[in-house]
Every structure is written in C-alpha cells, then in structure tokens.
Amino acid sequence: MQYYVLIGQFESRFDVSKPIFNCFEPLYGTRRTALISQSSEDGLKDGWRVASSLKMADERRLERLTSMLKRRGIILPAFEIYGGVSGLIDYGPVGAAMLRRVTQNWLDHWMSQGDIVEIDSPTLTPEAVLVASGHVGEFSDLMTECKACSSVFRADHLIEDEHPNADSLGAQEIDGLLGSGIACPSCEESAWTAAQPMNLMFQTSIGAMSSGRTAYMRPETAQGMFMLFPSLYRHFRQRLPFGAVQIGHGYRNEISPRQGMIRLREFNMAELEYFIDPQDPPVGDISKHNEIITLIPDPDGPHSGESRMSFGAALEAGIVRHPTVAWFLARTWDFLVGVGIDPARIRFRQHASTEMAHYATDCWDCEIHGEHGWVECVGIANRTCHDLENHETHSKARGLRAWRQFATPRKQVVERLAPNGAVIGPTFRNDAAAVVTALEALTELPDSLPFDLSLEDGRSVTINPDMVERREETANVSGEWFTPHVIEPAFGFDRIIWHILDHAYTEGEKEGEDYNHLSLAAGISSIDCVVLPLFDKGGMPELATEINTTINAVPRLRAQLDSSRSIGRRYARADEIGVPWALTVDHTSLEDGSVTVRRRDDQVQVRAFVDEVLEHLRNNSLDSLF
C-alpha cells in the first residue's frame, strides 16, 4: 500500500514500510511532525492528509538563519549604527560576492540564447517617461492608517488571512474587511481610515531650483530598454525577435516593508524585454522539459484550480496562452533550479484579471516557498505593445516600430501627403529635404491641418495646408510598419537569494555540538574553495599562499586562505557560508605537491595533486575525484 502526504502545496508518496519522517527532510532540512488519518479502502478516497497548519519542529529556525547571515557578513541591516532603515539592507563581503555570482549566472543564462544583449540605463527617470508608461497614474498600493496609534500599513497585507488573493481587491472591499474587526499589529485596536492609493515611486528633481525637472527613481529597469528600442532594432539589423536585459537597482517606496529581504525599498532586479512580431511569435523548444510543475491558473478563467503537468502540456491545454510565455516559464525554471532553488518548492501562479498590472494582458508569477510562505520572485508578463505605443504617442517619436515584410507584394489604396516644393523650399530652406523625408515617411496622416511634423533629428516643424496635398494612390506594398509586442521576465534577485539561502541552510550536529552549513549550488558560493595550511609553520603557509594566489589568478575562480585556529574550526567556518571545497596543505604536500580535497556536503576527503585540482576547479568537475 502507498500513502500520500500533503504539506501545504507539497505532495510526497511513500511506502508504508519506510519511516514517515524521511518524507519531510527535503522540505526544510529539518524533520517535521504530522497528524495522519487513514483513508478508506476504496482507492484512497479521502487520501492521507497532513494538516496545512503544520509547524516546523523548531520554530526558531528563521531567527537562527537570520542571525547567521548577519554574523557571517552575508545580509545585514543597512545604516545599523544609526538605528537602521526599514526596507534597506546591506550585502556584506560574503553576500555581495554571492549576489555577483547569481547575477552573472542569470546574465550568462539568457545571453546564451544568442539574440539577447545587455544594456545599462540611468536609474533617474524623467517624469514624462513614467507618465507615458502609466506608472505615475497607476503604480500605487492601497494604504490605511490606524486611528488609535497612527501606524500606517499596506491595506491588503492586513487582510491576507481573510481573503486568498487580497491584493486583487479594491478599496471598498478592503474597507469592508477591515471593518470586520481586523486588529492593528502595533496597538491591537480596530479602527482604520478608509483605504486610499499611495504612489510607490520616489520623486526627485533633475537640475537646480526653478529650472529643476521632475523625475523619479526608476521603479523598474524596463523603461530604459523601451527607450533604446530604435538602437536595438538597428543593432539586430531590423530583424525580430530580439531581446535586451538590464541588471540594476529599482526603487519602490513600500508602505510597510516587512519580512527582511522580501519587501525592500531599494532592491536588486533584472529584466528581459523580448520584442516579437505578434503575428509570428517565436516558439521555443520545450519538448525536452518533461518536469511536472505546479500551475495555479486564473481563478476566474476556464482552468481554475491547481494543476500539475509539464510546460508543453500546459501550453497545449491552453492554460499557458502564449507560446513565447511558455518558453520563458521553462527557461525561468531552468535558471532557478540551476542556482539552487528546490524544485519541489516552485510553482507558477497566473494573475487574475483584477490583479493584472496595468501594462499586461497575461502575467504569471513564479513563486518560491520558504520561511515566509509562498513569495513571488519572478514575474513573466505579456506586455503586448502597451509601452512602445504609449511612448510613441507621448513623445511623437517615429522609431518605435518594426517592419513586417509581406511574402508577396499587395495592392493597396494608400493616402499620402504630397509635398508642395514651391512652398516648402522657401519656407524651410536648408531643412526642406528633411521635411520632405519626414512627410514621405508618415504612416498615419493627421486628421486636419496644420499639424506638427517630427523630423528625424527630434525637432518639430509646423505643416500648413498650402505645403501639402492629400492624395489617394494605388500602390504595390511590400510590407507594413507595426508595433512589436514584448514578453518580459522580471526577476527580484534579493528574494531569489533569500530562498537560495533558506533552501540551502541545513542544521545538524557533530560531536555533540550544533553544526550548520549552506548546501549552495556550484558556482553560487562566495568563494570556490578555502586553502588551509594544517599548521602555521614548516613551509605550509608559504605553499598554501602560493596555491591560493594561483587559483585566484584564474578568471571567475575565487579562493581564500585561512590559517586561524584548529583545522576543524576552519572547516566549520567554510561550511557555514557554503564553500564547497577545502584544500588542506600538510606535510605530504611539501613532499609531493598533493593536497587533501574535502567535500562540504558529506565531508569525504581525497588526495590529489595541485595541478589536477586546479584543472577540475576550472571545469567544475572536482566531484569526479570522489
């Protein structure tokens, strides 16, 4: 007989003869207790179910993990000597190196596709850009204030236990739930102001005093890539599809930051804007992705309810609506698993129509489970042509479109404004040729004259009725201009790194003492190996220093020399921050040039020559020695 255990969103199947607690260890690295009731005999009618309110055997794990991250220089409160600032963190020397490696891994992952490039744009963004994108008018959360203690909270966070999708509710619905007796987390009173929107952007000014220009700290990196579309289009020889990525800081003035790294006011993010022809969307090969994943489609749609299937099956069933979106879901899965996220704790949740961002027609959140429950870490959105069209309308720029070539020319009746050279020449003199070129390039004619015509260099001129003649002509048309659509995966690195650390943190005992370590994936730890002279004498420190210098001279390899305290303590220090390998220099090393290679996760040791170790480090193949 087989048994089924359900832990939140996790399902485990096991045989009765096996110890039940073994099924819980992959979840958090610690064992959890369960209350199990037997099913009826007719095909596990009721199933074997573990209550969803299961708590970890040791509820202080989060506290211990957070303390270790601070003590070892991984994640720390920012400006701590001045009392700290909610929503701001520092990456210490270990954490910053880890962040760099995760971001580099992400960059390599996407740029290996061959049609994606990296750009870098300013974090300061003029107001006009964010008016066009919709952020000035739409980028807000609902806030409410406690009437008793004046504490301010994001309104939907207060009612998360009352509604399964609280951030999809409007102000009136939230007010109703708050009025049902929701207590203030600060003073436990239950008296709230009406929920009202608060724009989340940090406003600033470019320039001095009265000449200053309103701007904002960017809430996302995406707008910089939309601004560069004309340059990207030229770079890719006027051929779609192509993409651009950008890694950097984003800024959101969160109403009530909480949960450590989960909700920050300044955060590390990375976005990919992939420009496609909506009539010919690229279809990536997802046939090799046979993983069974958890999907939670739009609760208001035809596929509501949790499903478990492959990416290909989800696309074929219509749960994932767009082939390019399906491809990016699969590629996102690949990245997360590759950097050490437990695949059993990943799910994809589709936004309900009431929850959708103002720019999207379809959006999936990749959520990861950890100490803070299910947390959105990646958003994959079909932004359609929203951004490029809006920027074209607001800026009057002509370069935000792409050319679609017809298979065979088509006869069409077209309207055009024929230039009157007798008027345009004397009026515009040296600019006459530029005006004629701009008139001939018009794809949408104005409804009336006069109108303002944008020239290629960004200047604008006024075209009066006597300067042009409106004509209809039949022409063979070889193609048409259109606005590309955009598929966007957006990654929150701080949340991803938190879950890498959470999933990797393993607590245990060794010789009667607590012994904890981070089981980080290869290439993600802050350093690749530690070099340890067994004794601080007899030529061992000199040889260890030479080995350490040699490893650090190899691009993208990092080693660290540690000669302080006993060898056991040094192993423990390295294990605690996730260093996968320890190279120990001893008496034999001085004789034949070999070292002891110790593997972090099982502490097994082998001997190997330094040149051999260095070659395996380069190829990420040290495991082959064991």
Pairing of strands 203-206, 213-217: antiparallel
Q: Look at residue 209 in the predicted model and tell me its pLDDT.
A: 77
Whether 520 is in a domain gets the answer: no
Q: Look at residue 529 in the predicted model and tell me its pLDDT.
A: 97
Query: To the nearest 10°, the Cα dihedral for 123, 127, 129, 135?
Result: 90
Pair (315, 373) in one structural domain: yes
What confidence category does residue 23 fall into, taking pLDDT thresholds of 50, 70 and 90? very low
Q: Look at residue 413 in the predicted model and tell me its pLDDT.
A: 86
Contact 577, 585 (CB under 8 A): no
Whether 362 is in a domain gets the answer: yes
Q: Look at residue 421 in the predicted model and tell me its pLDDT.
A: 92
What confidence category does residue 612 fall into, taking pLDDT thresholds of 50, 70 and 90? very high
Least confident piece of the model among 73-77, 159-163, 209-213 = 209-213
Q: Look at residue 89 in the predicted model and tell me its pLDDT.
A: 96
The Cβ of residue 538 has, within 10 Å, a number of other Cβ atoms equal to 13
Residue 167: is its pLDDT beyond 90? no
Residue with tokens 């929920």, as numbered in its chain: 195
Pair (91, 43) in one structural domain: no
Give the total number of structural domains in the chain: 5
210 three-class SS = helix
Which residue type does 559 have?
A: A
CATH no. for residue 546?
Answer: 3.40.50.800
Rounded to 5°, the CA angle 500-599-524 comes to 30
Contact 240, 402 (CB under 8 A): yes
Please give the average per-residue pLDDT across 161-167, as a whole number.
83
Pair (472, 493) in one structural domain: no
Cα–Cα distance between 164 and 160 in angstroms, integer?
7
* pLDDT (tens digit per residue) in 566-605: 999 999 999 999 999 999 999 999 999 999 999 999 999 9
Share of the chain above pLDDT 90, in %: 73
Cα–Cα distance between 320 and 274 in angstroms, integer?
17
CATH no. for residue 501?
Answer: 3.30.930.10
What confidence category does residue 81 fall into, taking pLDDT thresholds of 50, 70 and 90? very high
Cis (ω within 30 of 0) for the bond into 241? yes
CATH no. for residue 183?
Answer: 3.30.40.230
What's this model's pTM, rounded to 2 decimal places?
0.82
Where are any strands of DSSP class E within 435-579?
Answer: 451-454, 460-463, 468-482, 485-492, 505-510, 513-518, 529-533, 559-561
Residues 404-434 as b or e (16 or more Cβ within 10 Å = b)? eeeeeeeeeeeebbebeeebbeebbeeebeb
* pLDDT (tens digit per residue) in 341-391: 999 999 999 998 777 666 677 899 999 999 999 999 999 999 999 999 999
Whether 428 is in a domain gets the answer: yes
Distances (CA, A) of 289 to 115, 329, 362, 456: 21, 11, 22, 46
Residue of 216, 214, 215 whose CA lies nearest to 253: 216
Cα–Cα distance between 310 and 290 in angstroms, integer?
6
228 three-class SS = coil
Q: Look at residue 353 in the predicted model and tell me its pLDDT.
A: 73
Residue 465: is its pLDDT beyond 80? yes
Cα–Cα distance between 42 and 268 in angstroms, integer?
52
Least confident piece of the model among 11-15, 167-171, 353-357, 509-513 = 11-15
Torsion-angle region of residue 167: left (phi > 0), alpha (psi -120 to 50) or beta? alpha
The Cβ of residue 477 has, within 10 Å, a number of other Cβ atoms equal to 13
The average confidence (pLDDT) of the chain is 88
Pair (563, 458) in one structural domain: no
Residue 397: is its pLDDT beyond 90? no
Cα–Cα distance between 478 and 412 in angstroms, integer?
10
Please give the average per-residue pLDDT across 436-447, as a whole number.
88
Q: Look at residue 2 in the predicted model and tell me its pLDDT.
A: 36
Distances (CA, A) of 514 to 21, 196, 373, 576: 21, 49, 26, 11
* pLDDT (tens digit per residue) in 87-144: 999 999 999 999 999 999 999 999 999 999 999 999 999 999 999 999 998 888 899 9
The Cβ of residue 119 has, within 10 Å, a number of other Cβ atoms equal to 17
Please give the average per-residue pLDDT across 288-299, as a whole number.
92
Whether 274 is in a domain gets the answer: yes
Q: Look at residue 25 in the predicted model and tell me its pLDDT.
A: 32
Whether 209 is in a domain gets the answer: no
Quick one: DSSP state of residue 139? -
Pair (301, 182) in one structural domain: no
* pLDDT (tens digit per residue) in 478-525: 999 999 999 999 999 999 999 999 999 999 988 888 899 999 998 999
Whether 228 is in a domain gets the answer: yes
Pair (176, 165) in one structural domain: yes
Quick one: DSSP state of residue 231? H
* pLDDT (tens digit per residue) in 175-223: 999 999 999 999 999 999 999 999 999 999 999 877 889 999 999 999 9
Distances (CA, A) of 155 to 46, 136, 198, 488: 38, 20, 11, 28
Q: Look at residue 335 in the predicted model and tell me its pLDDT.
A: 98
Which residue type does 625 have?
A: L
Cα–Cα distance between 318 and 525 in angstroms, integer?
39
Whether 251 is in a domain gets the answer: yes
Tokens of 408: 């065979």
Cα–Cα distance between 576 and 568 in angstroms, integer?
12
Q: Look at residue 58 in the predicted model and tell me its pLDDT.
A: 63
Which H helix or E strand runs over 289?
A: none
Q: Look at residue 48 in the predicted model and tell me its pLDDT.
A: 30
Q: Look at residue 35 in the predicted model and tell me its pLDDT.
A: 32
SS (H, E, C) 435-464: HHHHHHCCCCCCCCCCEEEECCCCCEEEEC
Which residue type does 396 have?
A: K
Cα–Cα distance between 319 and 298 in angstroms, integer?
9
Count of alpha carbons within 13 Å of 357, Cβ hemisphere only? 22
Rounded to 5°, the CA angle 537-543-544 comes to 85
Rounded to 5°, the CA angle 22-28-33 comes to 55
Pair (338, 449) in one structural domain: no
Q: Look at residue 575 in the predicted model and tell me its pLDDT.
A: 97
Query: To the nearest 10°, the Cα dihedral for 237, 238, 241, 245?
Result: 70
Which H helix or E strand runs over 214?
A: strand 213-217
Residue 57: is its pLDDT beyond 50? no
Q: Look at residue 37 in the predicted model and tell me its pLDDT.
A: 32
Count Cβ atoms within 10 A of the Cβ of residue 193 and give its class: 0-12 exposed, 13-18 middle, 19 or more buried.
middle
Cis (ω within 30 of 0) for the bond into 185? no
Angle of the 540-552 helix axis to the 610-619 helix axis, nearest 10: 30
Please give the average per-residue pLDDT across 6-31, as a whole number.
34
Cα–Cα distance between 402 and 543 in angstroms, integer?
61
Pair (304, 172) in one structural domain: no
Pair (553, 574) in one structural domain: yes
Pair (175, 251) in one structural domain: no
Give the domain extent around 166: 140-199
Pair (365, 274) in one structural domain: yes
Residue 477: is its pLDDT beyond 90? no
Pair (164, 182) in one structural domain: yes
Count Cβ atoms within 10 A of the Cβ of residue 178 and give its class: 0-12 exposed, 13-18 middle, 19 or more buried.
buried
Whether 204 is in a domain gets the answer: no
